[in-house]
Chains A and B, each alone.
Chain A
Amino acid sequence: MSTVKSKKLQVGTDATSSNNFTIYQPSTPDGTLRIGVGNADSPTEVGRFTSAGYKPATAPAFEAKSNSNTSVPHATWTKVEYNNELRDTTGDYSSSRFTPTVAGYYIITATACIGALSDQTFLLSLYKNSSYTHSYVAGGFKSGVLDPATSMSLVVYMNGTTDYYEAYVYQTSGVTKTTINYGITFSGSLIQQA
């Protein structure tokens, strides 16, 4: 039995370095095993193993909560402002809009609540690229419900460059209503890279 010790192992010998992979330990060992694209002399990290498992180098995820109320005119799809960022791993969340920089499949979840609405329609939808995607969830139909809340989750594909998601609400009280920001959140996370 023999033991091979090395800080780097290149897999592949293609003339095009991006067709090769390198498994390596960083120059200053930190308990991680890294995987990179490229030759052993200059790999670009795509992920690493730690004692806790695998962690991709770039995994967009965000969570934000609303700390202000949004005015929602009658019969008008209105973007909800979730302007208190709780986490944003890659800086891809801004102005209540998530524009991830990695192509893949994401789970996106939003919750919303609107004040003083009874026996009227209240809808929540996740908009892709500022457009209605013809899917929504409803709340607020039940008699006596004064501050209806609802939530929605979708698994969606995003191209990693131009695609973005936002949350919009719709109500038909006949007058302008206001969202309630008690703990309502907007979040998303990469679940599978394309």
Chain B
Amino acid sequence: MALYDKILAVRPTLTQDDFLPDTGTIVLQNDSDGKGDYIKEWNHPTETQPTSEELA
């Protein structure tokens, strides 16, 4: 399961709009270095950033 789907599973109030460039508050990134997707920025006003345990 992609990181985006994992985040929405544990924070179901989030929508795709929260991840849009400029208007969103969450940035997911993949540097194509074999380390996979990660949360680059999390600035959501109400939802807390999921822990690695929640996303495991």
Contacts and interface: CB of A to CB of B under 8 A. Distances in A.
B3 A73 contact: yes
B2 A74 contact: yes
Contact of B29 (A76, A123, A176): A76
A172 B29 contact: no
B31 A79 contact: yes
B42 interface: no
A75 interface: yes
Contacts of B29: 76-78, 130, 168
A70 interface: yes
A96 B32 contact: yes
A80 interface: yes
Q: Which of B19, B28, B29 has the most CB of A within 10 A?
A: B29
7 contacts: A73-B37, A75-B20, A76-B3, A77-B27, A79-B32, A130-B31, A170-B21
